[in-house]
Amino acid sequence: MAGLSPGAVDLRPEAEELAALAGRAPSLHNAQPWAFRVGRDTVEVHFDDRRMLPVADPVGRQAYLGLGAAVFLLRLAMAVRHRAVRVELRPAVARPDLVARITVVGEREPTGEEVRLAAAAPRRRTVRTPFQEGEVPVPLRAAWREHAEGEGGVLRWVERIGERSGVARLVAEADRQQQRDPAYLEELRRWTAPERVAEGAGVPMSSFGVGPGVGQAAEFTPRDFGAGWRSGEQRHAGPLEEHPLVAVLATASDSAEDWLRGGQALMRVLLAAAEDGYVASYFNQPIEVPGLRQQLRDELRLAGRPQLVMRLGRPSGPLPPPTPRRPPAELLLSEEPA
């Protein structure tokens, strides 16, 4: 690794490009809870807590997963620009909004894997419509698991019949509880409202997936983004695939640092899947209900803490358009004085 002489790098002219790349990360309800400060040789990732979802994500755990995913995309962006970096998670105790700092420390060649993952980023989608029937090859599942482990996560496949029925029961129960919670429904309404989508965030109707009747008939119940208040919109007729490939992403603990590591593991798995022609969606309802989250952990005998329930597969139709993103200029914080 070659060192850099003082002043040899200046990231500031690339600030909007870097913010746009990091802003492709997934986040709960596409809230995009991040902001970035780009200096001469550093990029800081900040938590914009104004974009929290206090009902579904009261402690910001899922927001931190999204922030971790953004950190991974920034790491990739630096790698393909031939930059070696140092990544610090939560580097300043006195600044709780500062969740990561990425500092350029030298030059290096990107690995072939980094180049491939970066190239797959534009194809990464959350797809809630049906996937193709059929098994996902074991070598791919093994490779995705290794990608998660490379970032400190654990990808636990939900395969045995008893486990699948147990996890499906928890997803359905959590979905019922949330659909009966007025505060949850109001929060969901705000993040699917046309005015939110027009701002470049939230979940548009084109990404809602199947209707509630189709979803409730499936093995695993997907989230109903219409939540009963937008019953007239056109949804995919379904049905969903009979036996989806389901995995739980877990981390060793529930520390904020582990949430950030979990987000990096998630992003790496999603990009590896996209490179292979696969996409994902989520059954995260039981993760958002504390008692059911513990039951999920017990059901699968997880040593760590479950962070996401994922569905992976090949889409049965063309990829949907990307969900909206906020303009890069809105994501940038002013540079601090020297």
Domains of the chain: residue spans and CATH: 12-124 (3.40.109.10), 138-313 (3.40.109.10)
More confident site: 140 or 234: 140
Cα distances (angstroms) measured from residue 155 to each of 22, 40, 147: 23, 37, 9
Model confidence band, residue 338 (pLDDT cutoffs 50, 70, 90): very low
Cα separation, 103 vs 88, whole angstroms: 8
The DSSP result for 278-302, as a single string, is: -EEEE--GGGGSHHHHHHHHHHHT-
Q: What rounded mean pLDDT belongs to the chain?
A: 94
pTM: 0.95
Cα separation, 118 vs 132, whole angstroms: 25
Residue 228 has a pLDDT of: 53
Residue 3 has a pLDDT of: 54
Cα separation, 212 vs 225, whole angstroms: 9
What are the E-state strand segments in 143-288? 154-157, 245-251, 279-282
pLDDT beyond 90 at 262: yes
Over residues 278-296, the mean pLDDT reads: 97
Residue 158 has a pLDDT of: 98
pLDDT beyond 50 at 311: yes
* Candidate from 148-152, 247-251, 316-320 with smallest mean pLDDT: 316-320
What would the pLDDT profile of 178-236 be if each residue is shown by its tens digit?
Answer: 999 999 999 999 999 999 999 999 999 999 999 888 988 999 999 999 875 555 566 78
| Cross-strand partners of 4 | none
- Can you tell me which residue has the tokens 């989520």? 282
